[in-house]
């Protein structure tokens, strides 16, 4: 969709009510749209984006030297197909419904650790995985029994 890729496929729908025309529909939610960075290698690899640029070199003022960087081609294949974005799926997509339309679909990858060494300092990459333990939500449930046990132990000593 222009300079971004819609990543959540919703389904295939008829196009403007024509049973012989189809469109592949993707979510238009901003959380499922990934921007494409074209020709930005001189600034460094941007995590959270799909990077597409050739190898080259950039000037680093602190060392007064040129530093080479690798090419990043995270769009791996392109297909000619009618596709569009929509807030939700409907079996018939209307072209005047406000969604974006495109004539190609892509295979892609992004946040590739192979490029982290060339990361743009303004878009840092991290190898750390998220900690999904819900400690904050359950802190009261954990502290209440501990407090009661402590209170009971103190009462026994007096």
pLDDT tens, residue by residue, 64-116: 988 888 888 999 999 898 888 998 888 888 887 777 888 888 999 888 888 88
Is residue 57 one of the residues assigned to a domain? yes
User: Is 142 a member of any domain?
Assistant: no
Confidence of residue 35 (pLDDT cuts 50, 70, 90): very high
Q: For residue 78, is it within any domain? A: yes
Specify if 39 maps to a domain.
yes
Do 89 and 25 form a contact (C-beta atoms < 8 A)? yes
Backbone angles phi, psi at 154, to 5 degrees: -65, -40
Q: Confidence class of residue 132 from pLDDT cuts 50, 70 and 90?
A: very low
Domain range holding 59?
Answer: 4-132
Parallel, antiparallel or unpaired: strands 72-73 and 50-53:
antiparallel
pLDDT higher for 73 or 156?
73
Tell me if 93 is assigned to some domain: yes
Residue 154: inside a domain: no
pLDDT the model gives residue 10: 93
Residue 29 falls inside a structural domain = yes
Is there a domain that residue 153 lies in? no
| Amino acid 147: pLDDT | 83
Q: What SS3 class is residue 132? A: coil
Does residue 134 surpass a pLDDT of 60?
no
- C-beta separation of 31 from 7 below 8 A: no
Round to whole Å and give the CA distance between 109 and 95. Answer: 29
Output the pTM of the full model: 0.68
User: What does the alpha-carbon distance between residue 28 and residue 88 come to, in Å, rounded to a whole number?
Assistant: 8
Say how many domains are in the chain.
1
pLDDT at residue 62, as a whole number? 83
């Amino acid at each position: 969709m222009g300079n971004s890729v819609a990543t959540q496929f919703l389904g295939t729908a008829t196009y403007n009510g024509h049973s012989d025309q189809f469109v592949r529909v993707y979510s238009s939610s901003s959380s499922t749209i990934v921007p494409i960075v074209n020709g930005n290698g001189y600034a460094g690899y941007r995590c959270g984006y799909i990077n597409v640029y050739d190898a080259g070199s950039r000037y680093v003022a602190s060392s007064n030297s040129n530093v080479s960087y690798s090419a990043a081609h995270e769009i791996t294949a392109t297909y000619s197909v009618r596709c569009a974005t929509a807030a939700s799926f409907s079996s018939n997509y209307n072209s005047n419904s406000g969604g974006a339309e495109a004539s190609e679909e892509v295979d892609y990858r992004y946040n590739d650790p192979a490029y982290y060494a060339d990361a743009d300092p303004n878009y840092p990459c991290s190898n750390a995985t998220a900690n999904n333990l819900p400690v904050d939500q359950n802190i009261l449930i954990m502290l209440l029994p501990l407090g009661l046990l402590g209170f009971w132990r103190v009462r026994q000593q007096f």
